[in-house]
């Protein structure tokens, strides 16, 4: 059986010739969540002036780097929150609770684990996202953030 799809959304086991499963759908969902949060395409290419060649930059890898822990717990939390704020789609400005976005990034990066058995099932993912929605609504009530949605057709 030949599997067709956009490579950036395909789970590693599918690329290696494995069969479609619920866990491969979880992987694709994780990529979509990271794409929505960051406003970035799943993979983009940039020119490395030193090596004089193009290199691919994955939204999955950049999300993992943003969440990566280094240093003491207190320093790291503040630094990580800063990285999260910088990574999130700039069109959102500061109209979001950073802690909730960080937790959503954690859920999404678990969805894109290389090993299919380490990914959560969609019931678990849906439950976590529902809790995060409630947290963000509570945040919006506290700060009285505008909840209007704007759509930009500008290129990313």
Architecture of the domain delimited by 7-138: Orthogonal Bundle (1.10)
The pLDDT assigned to 99 comes to 93
And the tokens for 4?
């067709």
Q: What is the largest CA-CA distance in the chain?
A: 53
User: Does residue 151 carry a pLDDT above 70?
Assistant: no
pLDDT digit string (tens) for 47-72? 888 888 888 889 999 999 999 876 66
The per-residue pLDDT of the chain, averaged, comes to 87
Q: Where are the domains of the chain?
A: 7-138
More confident residue, 38 or 150: 38
Q: Which of 61, 103, 59, 60 is nearest to 81 (CA)?
A: 103
Q: b/e map of 69-103 (b: 16 or more CB within 10 Å)?
A: eeeeeeeeeeebeebbbebbeeeeeeebbeebbbb
Q: Which residues pair with 45 in a beta bridge?
A: 56
Mean pLDDT of 114-143: 94
Residue 7 has phi, psi (to 5 degrees) of: -50, -40
- If phi > 0 it is left, if psi is from -120 to 50 it is alpha, else beta; for residue 31 that is alpha
| Highest-scoring range by mean pLDDT, 19-28, 39-48, 107-116, 131-140 | 107-116
The pLDDT assigned to 95 comes to 84
- Report the C-alpha gap between 137 and 38 in whole angstroms: 20
């Amino acid at each position: 059986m030949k599997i067709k799809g956009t490579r950036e959304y395909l789970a590693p086991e599918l690329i290696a010739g494995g069969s479609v499963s619920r866990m491969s759908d979880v992987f694709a969902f994780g990529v979509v969540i990271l794409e929505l949060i960051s406003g970035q395409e799943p993979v983009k290419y940039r020119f490395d002036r030193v090596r004089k060649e193009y290199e691919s930059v994955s939204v999955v890898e950049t999300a993992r780097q943003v969440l990566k822990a280094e240093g003491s717990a207190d320093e790291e939390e503040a630094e990580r929150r800063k990285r999260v704020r910088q990574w999130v789609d700039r069109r959102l400005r500061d109209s979001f609770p950073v802690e909730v976005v960080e937790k959503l990034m954690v859920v999404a990066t678990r969805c894109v684990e290389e090993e299919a058995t380490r990914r959560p099932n969609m019931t678990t993912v849906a439950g976590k996202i529902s809790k995060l929605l409630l947290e963000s609504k509570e945040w919006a009530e506290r700060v009285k953030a505008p909840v209007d949605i704007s759509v930009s057709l500008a290129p990313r």
